[in-house]
Amino acid sequence: MFKTIGKIGAFVYCAAIVAVSVIFTIRDANRNLKHEAVIEAGNQIRIQDFFESCPSDARFVTDISNIDTTEPAVYQLKVFYDEAFEKDVVLRIEDHTAPKGIALPKSLYTTWKAPEAADCVGYLYDLSGIAKIEYEEEPVFKEGGDYNVPVLVTDVYGNTARIGVPFTVIDDRTAPVLTGVKDIEFSMNDEEPDFFDGVEATDDYDEDPVILIDDTKVDYENPGTYIVKYMAIDKAGNSTYRQAELKLTKSTKPASQTTATVSGGEDLSSGGSGGSGGSGAGTKEKAQQLARKVLSGLWGKDDVATARNIFNWVHSHIYYAHVPGRPSYAKACYRGFSRRSGDCYVYYACSKMLLDLAGIPNMMVRRYPVYGSNHYWNLVKLNGQWYHCDATVFKHRRTIYFMCTDKQINDKYHQFNGKLYPARAGGSTDFKPTDTPTPIPTETIAPTTEPDITPTGESSAITPSPEITNNPTITGGPTAGPTAEPTSGGTTVSPTPANTTTDTPSPTPVQTSAEPSPSPTPLPTNTNTPVPTKPTEPTESKPEPTKPKPDPTKPAENTETNNGD
């Protein structure tokens, strides 16, 4: 009997030992398991992340092959380990990594507005997408020197990178030297001379100062002596003026040898006759001679670069002035290159002639319907697609329209009938659903009949309007130009000259997507396919993703006369 009791006691004792052992094993197994693991977006999912000390047989029961680790989200998974246990765990994919990018050094004058912050950094990369690019403090440069300007790049989860951008600022207060200005005399029925023959401008910083002529006081229909004013303007906005006399005389030729002014109907593509004196062919040849001289300094590495240089040159070197009458294409070109003044048709015609000589396909686009006056611009084929380009100087816009889609150039000046033109970039065929589109109201100012640059005296500060590119060049080229000095919410910020090296992270691929985290769904209870749930909210509010900046575009030609604006 005692032996039986002893055996039972031993059995109970052993069972107790086993039970205690199992309890401790389960407890230790639970202690070893991490019920939640966090990984950085873009990293791999590893079974080891869910254990203090990973068992050799640990594995995922849930299929994790379809989980996109580049997207922050929360997943419920199931793991197996220690030959006995299946446990639910939570995987959190979070983005705590700031974007990467490099600084794009900038050169500008103290009179220029600082470029957009987005133009100062490049090769940006972030898994969750770039949401915001801004200056740490809006820079205003009052003195020349070298500066290090911080730019903040923030992704959609609030992670911010601080990139120092080198700025070279030039304080140029010396006006260009203008030489070769002389008095001019010609007969009313003779071809107008080249007003810029022998006229040159030199500058201590700007290799290509803009030379303009103001002949708005000249009545080309009546003989007499008039004053014309020449202006040389550098990229910093410094200007020099010189005056000359223009003596317009009556024709001494018999009436049979003179050419009457043509009021319309010329073939614009061939030049026509029109204007005072000379055949259309002769006028076109003279215009082309002047255009070839201009084009020699405008060639770029490809058609896009050449076209941009062409439109920048026409925009910055031609003075806006109303042109009475209806000149032919050849006369408009000759006026633009010889007098450097004209209205929208002259801007169009000069752009077209330069594009033709460069071998770049283009055509005219004409405003439709006409509201008070016509407007003309170019449609240009670049990179295999047609784009809108307009070099006309508008007071509401200080830069050119370059490589614009229909949507990007959509304002009251650029309404047109899309059915008349080839499909444009972006797939547009009909700009408006009807033949008579309704212009979209915009807070803009119609081009005036007065020049956009009006001299008010020898000491006047004239601001020319050539386009400022993303990386303006201080010397050479026609693309850079000054703009008004900026303010930052009423507060002037003067950067401190930098004595340190620039923060330039190594370049990485450009990330164009800026989508937020995936839409949350409820955690599944029994499933082998993980479903993402709502990720942890960042501590800061998410900035709104930035939309890509539209890149300007180009226009087309027609075979009709008439200029407008």
pLDDT, tens only, 17-52: 655 554 545 556 677 899 999 999 989 999 999 999
Is there a domain that residue 12 lies in? yes
Is there a domain that residue 110 lies in? no
Cis preceding-peptide flag for 369 (omega within 30 of 0): yes
**Do residues 149 and 162 lie in contact, with contact meaning Cβ atoms separated by under 8 Å?**
no
**Span 79-130, pLDDT tens digits:** 999 988 999 999 999 999 999 999 999 999 999 989 999 999 999 999 888 9
Is there a domain that residue 319 lies in? no
Nearest of 227, 222, 249 to residue 181 by alpha carbon: 227
The mean pLDDT value for 309-337 works out to: 90
Is there a domain that residue 300 lies in? no
Burial label, 226 (beta-carbon count in 10 A; 0-12, 13-18, 19+): middle
Cα Rg for the chain, rounded, in angstroms?
A: 35
Locate 484 and state its tokens.
């008004």
Across 37-46, 328-337, 429-438, 469-478, least confident range: 469-478
In sign, the C-alpha dihedral spanning 58, 62, 68, 73 is negative
Mean pLDDT, all residues of the chain: 74
Q: How far, in Å, CA of 142 to CA of 316, rounded?
A: 25
Residue 1 is predicted with a pLDDT of: 56
pTM beyond 0.75, yes or no: no
**Strand bridging mode 239-249 / 184-187:** parallel
Q: What is the SS3 assignment for 226? A: strand
Q: How far, in Å, CA of 211 to CA of 233, rounded?
A: 7
**Span 282-301, pLDDT tens digits:** 889 999 999 999 999 999 99
Locate 12 and state its tokens.
């109970």
| pLDDT greater at residue 19 or residue 329 | 329
The mean pLDDT value for 239-249 works out to: 93
Angle between helices 303-317 and 344-358 (to 10 degrees): 150
CATH number reported for the structural domain that contains residue 80 in this entry: 2.60.40
Q: What is the DSSP string of 154-213?
A: EETTS-EEEEEEEEEEE---PPPEEE----EEEETTSPPP-TTTT-EEE-SS-SS-EEEE
Is there a domain that residue 69 lies in? yes
Phi, psi values for residue 427, rounded to 5°: 90, 10
The DSSP symbol for 281 reads H
Residue 47 is predicted with a pLDDT of: 93
Local confidence band at 426 (pLDDT 50, 70, 90 cut-offs): confident
Q: How far, in Å, CA of 556 to CA of 465, rounded?
A: 23
Match 């950085």 to its residue by tokens: 40
Nearest of 556, 518, 528 to residue 416 by alpha carbon: 556
Is there a domain that residue 310 lies in? no
**Strand bridging mode 184-187 / 200-202:** unpaired
Give the CA angle between residues 17, 22, 24 to the nearest 5°: 95
**Domain count for the chain:** 1
pLDDT above 70 (res 506): no
**Do residues 347 and 315 lie in contact, with contact meaning Cβ atoms separated by under 8 Å?**
yes
Half-sphere exposure of 197 (CA within 13 A, CB side): 10
**Span 49-63, pLDDT tens digits:** 999 999 999 999 999
Nearest of 341, 351, 345, 334 to residue 367 by alpha carbon: 345
**Span 364-375, pLDDT tens digits:** 999 988 877 889
CB contact set of 547 (below 8 Å; sequence gap of 6+)? none
- pLDDT over 70, % of the chain: 65
Q: How far, in Å, CA of 22 to CA of 211, rounded?
A: 94
Half-sphere exposure of 451 (CA within 13 A, CB side): 26
**Strand bridging mode 130-135 / 106-109:** unpaired
CB contact set of 197 (below 8 Å; sequence gap of 6+)? none
Containing domain of residue 87, as a range?
2-94
**Do residues 33 and 87 lie in contact, with contact meaning Cβ atoms separated by under 8 Å?**
yes
Is there a domain that residue 46 lies in? yes
Number of Cβ within 10 Å of residue 153's Cβ equals 25
Q: How far, in Å, CA of 517 to CA of 72, rounded?
A: 6
**Span 472-488, pLDDT tens digits:** 333 333 333 333 333 33
Is there a domain that residue 28 lies in? yes
